[in-house]
């Protein structure tokens, strides 16, 4: 049986594709200041080397504002 990723990779995918995508429907100017805190929390909770899909998506959102 091949290993296609870890549980954290799966969580990263679901958060980035299903949960954080809903931020696009919000007024991004309201959440812009909160993105840095969320990025720091992801690093603290999962480690700096994990959750890259979520981090990339959140950084892209921050650039849109």
12-60: per-residue pLDDT in tens? 999 999 999 998 888 888 888 899 999 999 999 999 999 999 999 999 9
Band of residue 4 on the pLDDT scale cut at 50, 70, 90: low
Which positions ≥6 away from 28 have C-beta within 8 Å? 61, 64, 65
Q: What pLDDT is recorded for position 48?
A: 96
- Token pair recorded at residue 25: 């429907």
CA–CA dist 59, 50 (Å, integer): 15
Which comes out higher in pLDDT, residue 15 or 5?
Answer: 15
**Residue 5 region, left (φ>0) first, then alpha (ψ -120 to 50), else beta?**
left
């Amino acid at each position: 049986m091949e290993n296609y990723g870890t549980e954290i990779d799966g969580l990263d995918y679901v958060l980035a594709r299903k949960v954080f995508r809903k931020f696009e429907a919000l007024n991004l100017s309201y959440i812009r200041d909160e993105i840095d805190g969320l990025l720091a929390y992801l690093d603290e909770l999962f480690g700096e080397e994990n959750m890259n899909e979520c981090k990339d998506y959140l950084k892209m959102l921050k650039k849109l504002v």
